[in-house]
Amino acid sequence: MSDTKVLRLVKRSESGNLPETAFTAKTVAKTEPKPVAAPAPALKPAPAPARQPKQKERPRLSRAEMLKLYRTMYLSRRLDDKEIQMKGQNRIFFQISGAGHEAILVAAGMCLKPGYDWFYPYYRDRALCLQLGMTPLEQLLQSVGAEADPASHGRQMPSHWGHKKLNIVSQSSPTGTQLLQAVGCAEAGYRAKLIKELKKRVKNFRNDEVVYVSLGDGTSSEGEFWEALNTACNLKLPVVFLCEDNGYAISVPVEVQTAGGDVSKLVRGFPNLFIQRCDGTDALESLAVMRRAVDNCRKNRGPSFVHAKVIRPYSHSLSDDERLYRADEERASDAEHDPIKRFGALLTKEGVIDQEGLQKLKDEVAREVNEAADQALASPQPAAETATAFVYSPVVDPTSKEFDTEENVQLSGNPGTMVDLINRGLHTEMKRDPRIVVFGEDVADCSREESLEKVKGKGGVFKVTANLQREFGSARVFNSPLAEANIVGRAIGMAARGLKPVVEIQFFDYIWPAMHQIRNELALMRWRSGNEFSAPVVMRVPVGGYLKGGAVYHSQSGVSLFTQIPGLRVVYPSTALDANGLLRTSIRCDDPVLFLEHKHLYRQAYNKSPYPPDDFMIPFGKAKTVRAGTDISIITYGALVQRSFVAAKKAEQQGVNVEIIDLRTMSPYDWDAIAESVKKTSRAIVAHEDSLSFGYGAEIAARISSELFEYLDAPVRRVAALDTFVAYAPQLEDAILPQVADVLEAIVEVSSY
Ligand SMILES: Cc1ncc(C[n+]2csc(CCOP(=O)(O)OP(=O)(O)O)c2C)c(N)n1
Ligand SMILES: [Mg+2]
């Protein structure tokens, strides 16, 4: 059996050269597998990549340093093995190992400074965390789900790293979400250098700080990876990207995943990117490469990208059996490249330590791991009643009196529109707090500063951010790429450093690329880290229809998808004044907020208001009784407030006295106001612009039915859009979205029940 035939199993280039992933070559040749047909020609192999000349330089390490390097690698593996044993005994509940990745990770840790640099690792990075100073006990506390686990306090799976003191930011399970956050984290430092007042306010800011972020080969397929590289290179941020390429993403091999099978070739076109490749199972080569990569960032030359080939000697996780998709010979060849075996052999060959000494070291590590495991197992799990702790900030309560300056508010000036009053709110808050940065698509006045004085300025497609750049400078108000995940992901990273990003998603209809960051990251950061980290970002989002011509993709309002997310505040003002007060509360509170601005309400005469003072705030969860009545309660928000108001006036002529409650914030919402009103009127309608089924009204109606049943004289009625999309033709749009006549019809129906 020739080498080449067998290697087709792995991958062959057109010219017959081995791909650089093929650690397997020699080993595979020794075995005698059955002849296998060439792989299906679905993927055309890329032309053979030119081999890079191998860097021969070898870092000079003392004996103690060599032994320490080995010890940390071995400790990492031992911890994985211990976890595997404990999982088998049902004493832990999940296991995913860092086996095969240890050499490059200890090397990375040796080049970076814990508590000084910042870290966004992924689940294979056990050895990195150990090298940075995380203890075996700290790691095992997470495995057993202990309250004392410093990363998540018993809330996340093992190997979901986090350590406040070491600047390891809480990590999650979704592959790749860490990348844009790492960019945002580095960007906080970048902006601190540009904005004098920020320097003291960015958490642990250092002039030469570096941000580390890692990913697997499969994760490089995620769009956010490319978005992260784009921004890191564009801003020349000091981010070290480490791609730990073990050739597989669970069962999918790299050549299926990546065009040409080699991600570092694909990233070559990025400007300012320092690209390094290495055998990540060779500890000394890894160290040399990581030093160059980190050094490049530290000297502020821009981002570095390290492509480290590693192995995955165990299955993807304990829930996976790689024998189902990897041939024995391929697995055997991985074993030949085991980094621990290789480095151990080098140490004995070079006389750094003898076999006996090595064994002693291993025994000592085994003892340490066993002791840590015993201690972890004795550590209690979190009490059941803590389940909802830290969904929101435990310190800043935006529903409290502190955030209420509504009473007797002194208004001044000519009435302004909702756009005017939001814009004023942004100006006054940015003046007050230098940590606020505003970015998004088209939010700047003019990105090309040299033209700023020659033009009027854009300031947002709805002009809500007009003149912010002019007043506060381009370092605080700037345009993002046209990429919504980029906006929210970066904002989360900046918030981790203490900035206060107030970002704009241009249209609610296009929030979906950011949904992953919102649902899995933004809203979860505090809870999943047990309050170690948080992401108090404000997302301003124009929403809604009634635009005549807004059609399917400029009229959406699927808000219940967001109110269903714990940890996220959802605000939806219907007047200019409310928008101003609620925006201020959104900015000053310590939770992530989705701040919805109805496009149709932006410039209506009926919701204008003179200007409130600069400390005007409306607390969350405080509804407004827009119209007092005795016969029926309409619970509503957004564009349906005015429609309900007009319907109520018409109903009055028919002798029905309607009360209207504008919720103003949807999560939290003012249940007390609803209950008080329904107890008085005994009849309720929930009216909203969003479609009927599974909507926000269903939740409110269900709660009224279950908690106020005894007070009701009629079934709770919902008024909502049809269960379809908003059409372009005005006649169709009118039929789809709820109108005054629909509200009036519901009033008549419910009041006469
Ligand atoms: C967004 C997302 N999709 C799918 C998964 C399920 N998943 C977990 S790990 C993984 C493979 C990751 O492969 P790679 O990036 O190469 O890292 P490796 O595990 O090989 O180190 C997949 C598909 C996930 N966690 N997140
Ligand atoms: Mg992989």
Q: What is the mean pLDDT of residues 622-638?
A: 98
CB 83 within 8 A of CB 177: no
CB 587 within 8 A of CB 432: no
Alpha carbon nearest to ligand 1 atom 8, residue: 175
CB 245 within 8 A of CB 216: yes
How far is the C-alpha of 331 from the C-alpha of 315, rounded, in Å? 10
Token pair belonging to 356: 């006996």
pLDDT in tens, 54-89: 556 789 999 999 999 999 999 999 999 999 999 999
How far is the C-alpha of 194 from the C-alpha of 187, rounded, in Å? 11
Tokens 């956050």, residue located = 181
pLDDT at 642: 98
Confidence of residue 300 (pLDDT cuts 50, 70, 90): confident
Q: Which residues of 685-724 are buried (b: 16+ CB within 10 A; e: fewer)?
A: bbbbbbbeeebbbbbbbeebeeebeeebebebbbbbbeee
Give the ligand at the shortest distance from the Cα of 220: 1
Give the ligand at the shortest distance from the Cα of 246: 2
Tell me if residue 415 falls in helix, strand or coil. strand
Find the helix or strand (DSSP H, E) in which 245 lies.
Answer: strand 239-245
Give the ligand at the shortest distance from the Cα of 124: 1
How far is the C-alpha of 361 from the C-alpha of 353, rounded, in Å? 10
pLDDT at 56: 62
Closest ligand 1 atom, CA of 101? 21
CB 434 within 8 A of CB 201: yes
pLDDT at 258: 97
Q: What is the mean pLDDT of residues 596-625?
A: 98
CB atoms within 10 A of CB 729: 12
How far is the C-alpha of 587 from the C-alpha of 532, rounded, in Å? 20
- Lowest mean pLDDT: which of 13-22, 43-52, 648-657? 13-22
Q: Is the CB of 174 under 6 A from ligand 1?
A: yes
Q: Kindly tell me the burial class for residue 445, based on how many C-beta atoms sit within 10 Å of its own C-beta (0-12, 13-18, 19 or more).
A: buried
CB 174 within 8 A of CB 482: no
Candidates 479, 424, 430; CA nearest to 452 is 479
Taking each helix axis as running N to C, give the angle between helix 283-298 and helix 339-349, from 0 to 180 degrees, rounded to the nearest 10: 110
Q: What is the mean pLDDT of residues 361-387?
A: 98
Sheet with 274-279: list strands edge to edge.
118-120, 211-216, 239-245, 304-309, 274-279
CA-to-CA separations, 125 to 122, 342, 614, 648, in angstroms, rounded: 6, 19, 47, 61
| Strand blocks (E) in 333-484 | 412-416, 436-440, 477-479
Q: 316: CA distance to ligand 2 center in Å?
A: 8
- Lowest mean pLDDT: which of 136-140, 163-167, 316-320, 648-652? 316-320
Catalytic residue among 160, 307, 316, 554: 554
CB atoms within 10 A of CB 433: 15
pLDDT score of 17 more than 90: no
Alpha helices in 619-695 (DSSP H): 640-653, 671-681
| Strand blocks (E) in 151-229 | 211-216
Task: Give me the amino acid identity at 386.
Answer: T
**The model scores a pTM over 0.85:** yes
Q: Give the number of residues written for the chain.
A: 753
How far is the C-alpha of 197 from the C-alpha of 200, rounded, in Å? 7
CB 684 within 8 A of CB 715: no
Backbone angles phi, psi at 593, to 5 degrees: -130, 130
pLDDT score of 287 more than 50: yes
pLDDT in tens, 313-370: 998 888 889 999 999 999 888 888 999 999 999 999 999 999 999 999 999 999 999 9
Q: Is the CB of 100 under 6 A from ligand 1?
A: no
Q: Is the CB of 249 under 6 A from ligand 1?
A: yes
Candidates 573, 562, 571; CA nearest to 601 is 573
- The greatest distance separating any two alpha carbons of the chain, rounded to the nearest whole angstrom, comes to 99
Q: What is the mean pLDDT of residues 703-731?
A: 97
How far is the C-alpha of 599 from the C-alpha of 725, rounded, in Å? 17
pLDDT score of 184 more than 70: yes
Q: Is the dihedral of CA 469, 471, 474, 477 positive or negative?
A: negative
Token pair belonging to 551: 């059609």
- Lowest mean pLDDT: which of 39-48, 194-203, 541-550? 39-48
Q: Is the CB of 95 under 6 A from ligand 1?
A: no
Q: Is the CB of 517 under 6 A from ligand 1?
A: no
Q: Is 510 left (phi over 0), alpha (psi -120 to 50) or beta?
A: alpha
How many CA atoms does the CB half-sphere of 700 hold within 13 Å? 33
Percent of the chain with pLDDT over 90: 89
Residue among 160, 171, 175 to mutate when testing ligand 1 (max atoms within 8 A of CB): 175
pLDDT score of 22 more than 80: no
Q: Kindly tell me the burial class for residue 564, based on how many C-beta atoms sit within 10 Å of its own C-beta (0-12, 13-18, 19 or more).
A: middle
Candidates 706, 698, 502, 467; CA nearest to 588 is 502
How far is the C-alpha of 753 from the C-alpha of 751, rounded, in Å? 6
Q: Is the CB of 178 under 6 A from ligand 1?
A: no
pLDDT score of 19 more than 80: no
Alpha carbon nearest to ligand 1 atom 20, residue: 249
pLDDT in tens, 449-492: 999 999 999 999 999 999 999 999 999 999 999 999 999 999 99
How far is the C-alpha of 209 from the C-alpha of 202, rounded, in Å? 12
Q: Work out the mean pLDDT of the chain and round it to a whole number.
A: 92
Catalytic-residue membership of 427: no
How many CA atoms does the CB half-sphere of 160 hold within 13 Å? 25
Confidence of residue 238 (pLDDT cuts 50, 70, 90): very high
How many CA atoms does the CB half-sphere of 19 hold within 13 Å? 26
Cβ contacts of 195 within 8 Å, gap of 6 or more: 434, 473, 475, 476
Task: Give me the amino acid identity at 164.
Answer: K
Candidates 266, 350, 252, 339; CA nearest to 23 is 339
Candidates 24, 1, 27, 29; CA nearest to 11 is 24
Closest ligand 1 atom, CA of 257? 16
Q: Is the dihedral of CA 294, 295, 296, 297 positive or negative?
A: positive
Say how many Å lie between the first and final Cα of the chain, rounded: 86
Q: What is the mean pLDDT of residues 646-650?
A: 98
- Lowest mean pLDDT: which of 39-43, 676-680, 685-689? 39-43
